[in-house]
């Protein structure tokens, strides 16, 4: 079986490199039968998009999202439902399943989301944030989010910028760093799937306090400043939930800066 999987992976990589999307999809289906990993359905959705087969792409993203939800990977599921809804904003199943994530055991019991092999467990998962929302607040929050793909080395936010969007990492990882008065660059943290960042600028109204750059290809969920203001106006308690979450994160950041200052 191992040889079969290896051969299929080699074939798929070859087909993708040559833009042979149909052939790649066919072998991905075979690979999924041997290894039912949701990421395979995601890649099938990507291939169908290349073929401009939108209904099939939507179907695959929803399928992948359902699988992630079953595994308790809530943020990954959310990203895939958003991809499906970006293609078909009125897709009823995607809308319903995304709303149902709020009742998933991982959120209601504040359990840790599963960690990919080779990845670090998040220090500040988005799950406590989601658990702090009511069903209606969660639905509004997630409905307004947009999904983006960022390549390795891409700067998502830059220290000093005035942008105030907030973000959740769905896949991949980022590094957070700042520049000290001495001119030294200090890494404050590495953030992993399901972690949340960017809320400090929104809550304080001040420019970004750090730069966030992707370590690898990374999928990000974004809630823009305008949408967040609209949400807070409708559900004022959302700001309180964000504030509580932010204070926990800020404490860790201050400790890191003090530690680096002492070392230098």
**How confident is the model at residue 258, as a pLDDT?**
45
Q: Which of 74, 197, 61 is nearest to 124 (CA)?
A: 197
Q: Which of 33, 12, 32, 9 is nearest to 23 (CA)?
A: 12
10-residue mean pLDDT series, the chain (264 residues): 85 95 96 95 97 98 97 96 97 97 93 80 84 93 95 95 91 91 85 88 88 96 94 91 78 49 49
**How confident is the model at residue 250, as a pLDDT?**
66
**How confident is the model at residue 263, as a pLDDT?**
52
Question: If DSSP codes are grouped into helix, strand and coil, which group holds residue 189?
Answer: strand
**How confident is the model at residue 260, as a pLDDT?**
47
User: In this structure, what DSSP letter does residue 158 have?
Assistant: -
User: What are the Cα distances from residue 137, in Å, to 134, 232, 235?
Assistant: 5, 10, 7
Domains of the chain, first to last: 1-114 (1.25.40.10), 120-264 (2.60.120.10)
Task: Give me the DSSP letters along 12-68.
Answer: HHHHHHTT-HHHHHHHHHHHHHHS--HHHHHHHHHHHHHTT-HHHHHHHHHHHHHHH
**How confident is the model at residue 175, as a pLDDT?**
94
Q: What is the pTM of this model?
A: 0.87
């Amino acid at each position: 079986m191992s040889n079969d999987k290896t051969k299929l992976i080699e074939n798929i990589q070859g087909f993708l490199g040559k833009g042979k999307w149909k052939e790649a999809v066919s072998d991905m289906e075979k690979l999924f039968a041997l290894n039912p990993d949701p990421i395979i359905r995601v890649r099938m959705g990507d291939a169908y998009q290349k073929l401009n087969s939108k209904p099939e792409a939507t179907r695959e993203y929803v399928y992948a999202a359902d699988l992630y939800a079953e595994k308790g990977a809530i943020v990954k599921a959310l990203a895939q439902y958003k991809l499906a809804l970006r293609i078909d904003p009125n897709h009823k199943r995607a809308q319903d399943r995304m709303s149902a994530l709020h009742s998933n055991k991982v959120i209601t019991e504040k359990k840790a989301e599963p960690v990919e092999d080779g990845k670090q467990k998040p220090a500040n998962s988005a799950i406590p944030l989601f658990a702090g929302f009511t069903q209606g607040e969660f639905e509004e929050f997630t409905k307004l989010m947009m999904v983006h793909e960022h390549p390795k080395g891409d700067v998502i936010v830059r220290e000093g910028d005035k942008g105030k969007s907030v973000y959740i990492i769905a896949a991949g990882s980022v590094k957070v760093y700042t520049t000290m008065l001495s001119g030294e660059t200090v890494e404050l943290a590495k953030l992993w799937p399901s972690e949340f960042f960017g809320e400090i600028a929104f809550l304080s109204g001040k420019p970004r306090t750090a730069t966030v750059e992707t370590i690898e290809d990374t999928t990000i969920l974004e809630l823009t400043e305008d949408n967040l203001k609209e949400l807070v106006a409708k559900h004022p308690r959302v700001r309180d939930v964000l504030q509580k979450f932010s204070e926990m994160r800020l404490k860790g950041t201050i400790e890191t800066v003090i530690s680096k200052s002492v070392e230098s």
